[in-house]
Structure formats: structure tokens, C-alpha cells
């Protein structure tokens, strides 16, 4: 799956890009070529949802959860009244799925946005990858998701803004603050 959230790779998402996405969502709701439009949404949002899920759940379960998210998204899509809110809506569902999974499997651990999460990865994941994931997951949720979108999926800031429905300025600040916290957490140590 490629990182194709935004039509433009480097520039800030334009209002035309948002309008185009809203039109695509409406087609996926109940328009001509509905399944084609749904496939397009699947391709565009897969990477963003995957990174969001990784902020809360281990790598082994992440792809399954992404598929569960899409099943719900396409089942509920006709009820979405604001197509322009699709990105926010879909990321909310992804986060809810991942958090539900975590609550179900770790019922005694308090889950808040302010604190980091500790997630055990299995032996198939390389040590450097585990350390990188652990460092990012130790941050508050505010920073985890955009940093994972940036580093796991290779999305640029404008693409993250497009995927999450947040403003580019907000994403930029979050990325930089998150990176600053990562630097403090790493304290010069290599991955």
C-alpha cells in the first residue's frame, strides 16, 4: 500500500484537494462507481490508519485492525452527514478500534492521552525497530500518531494534515514538539 493520502506530496493541502476528497466520499456513499470510490478511499487512507493503530496496538495486530476499521467505515459511510469531515471521522474510528483492542487485552492498564503506552512486540520485529517504536509510544498520544505517520509511513506534514483533518500549522507544531521530546528521551543514544 502506498502513501497516497494527498494529491500533492510537498505543498500544503489545497481547498481543491479537500473538495475532491469530499466528492470521492459522496461517490463512495451512494454514487456511481461506488466500489471504485471505496477502493480509492482504502488506498488513500490505509497508511494513515495503520500509523494511528500502531500508536496503540502491536505491529502483529495492526493490519488486522486496519481492515476491521475499513469494514466499519464502509458500513457506516452512508450515515456520514459531512463528507468533508471524513478524515477526522475515519481516524476517530481507527483510534477507537485500537484503544478498544488495548483495553480488552490489557484491562488493568489505565489508558489516557497524556501518558505513553508500553506495547510488547514479538521476536519478528528487529531490535532497532522495537526501540524506535518504544521511544515514540512513550510520548503522549498527541505526538505518537503524527510521528508514526511521518516515520513509519513516510507521510509529509501536509499529507498528515490532510489525513487527519488537522491544520498544517497544528501538525507542524506537533511534529516538532514530538521530535524535541524524542531527542530528550533518546539523550544522544543511538537506536
Partner 1 sequence: MSDYLWDKSGPVDPLAADFEAALAPLASGAGTEMGSARARQQAAQRRRNHRNMRIAGGVTLLAMVAATTLLLIHHRTRETPDTGVRFVSGDATVQYSQDSHADRPTTSPGPDMNAHATPSRFAPNQVLGHQASIQAIEETYLTLDGLGSVSLAPGSILRVLAKQHGVTRVALQNGRLHARVTAPPRLFVVDTPLATAVDLGCEYTLTTTTHHTVLRVISGSVEMQLPPELQAQIGTHVVRVPERFELQLAPAARGAVPTHDRASSPMREAIAAFAKAPVASVPALVAHATPFDGVTLWAAVTQLSPTQPGLREARKALLTPLVRWFAPPALRSPPMLAQMAAGSWWPLLVLDLAQNGAFDVNEAPTPY
Give the residues lining the site for partner 1 (CB under 8 A). 1-3, 10, 46-47, 50, 54, 59, 63, 66, 79-82, 85, 88-89, 92-93, 96, 112-114, 125-126, 128-129, 131-133, 135-136, 141-142, 147-148, 150-154, 156-158, 164-167, 170, 172, 175-176, 179, 182-183, 186, 190-191
Nearer to partner 1, 32 or 164 (CB): 164
Report the C-alpha gap between 17 and 31 in whole angstroms: 19
Report the C-alpha gap between 163 and 94 in whole angstroms: 12
The C-alpha cell of 161 is what? 494534515
Helices (H), the chain: 15-30, 34-54, 59-76, 86-105, 127-137, 141-151, 157-164, 168-186
In angstroms, what is the minimal distance from the CB of 36 to partner 1? 21
Nearer to partner 1, 33 or 60 (CB): 60
Asked whether 60 and 122 are in contact (CB, 8 A), the reply is: yes
In angstroms, what is the minimal distance from the CB of 11 to partner 1? 9
In angstroms, what is the minimal distance from the CB of 51 to partner 1? 8
* C-alpha closest to that of 119 among 42, 49, 73, 62: 62
Nearer to partner 1, 108 or 184 (CB): 184
In angstroms, what is the minimal distance from the CB of 132 to partner 1? 4
Nearer to partner 1, 108 or 114 (CB): 114
Asked whether 158 and 87 are in contact (CB, 8 A), the reply is: no
In angstroms, what is the minimal distance from the CB of 153 to partner 1? 6
Asked whether 124 and 138 are in contact (CB, 8 A), the reply is: no
Amino acid at each position: 500500500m502506498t502513501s497516497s493520502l494527498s494529491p500533492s506530496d510537498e505543498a500544503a493541502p489545497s481547498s481543491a484537494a479537500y473538495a475532491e476528497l469530499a466528492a470521492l466520499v459522496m461517490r463512495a456513499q451512494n454514487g456511481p462507481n461506488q466500489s471504485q470510490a471505496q477502493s480509492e478511499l482504502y488506498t488513500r487512507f490505509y497508511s494513515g490508519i495503520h500509523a494511528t493503530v500502531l500508536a496503540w496496538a502491536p505491529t502483529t495486530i495492526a493490519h488486522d485492525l486496519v481492515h476491521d476499521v475499513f469494514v466499519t467505515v464502509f458500513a457506516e459511510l452512508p450515515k456520514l452527514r459531512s463528507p468533508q469531515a471524513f478524515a477526522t471521522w475515519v481516524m476517530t474510528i481507527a483510534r477507537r478500534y485500537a484503544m478498544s483492542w488495548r483495553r480488552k487485552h490489557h484491562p488493568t492498564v489505565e489508558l489516557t492521552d497524556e501518558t505513553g503506552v508500553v506495547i510488547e512486540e514479538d521476536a519478528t520485529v528487529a531490535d532497532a525497530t522495537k526501540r524506535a517504536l518504544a521511544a515514540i509510544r512513550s510520548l503522549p498520544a498527541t505526538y505518537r500518531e503524527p510521528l508514526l505517520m511521518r516515520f513509519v509511513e513516510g507521510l509529509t506534514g501536509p499529507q498528515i494534515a490532510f489525513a487527519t483533518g488537522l491544520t498544517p500549522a497544528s501538525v507542524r507544531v506537533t511534529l516538532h514538539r514530538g521530535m524535541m521530546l524524542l531527542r530528550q528521551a533518546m539523550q544522544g543514544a543511538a537506536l
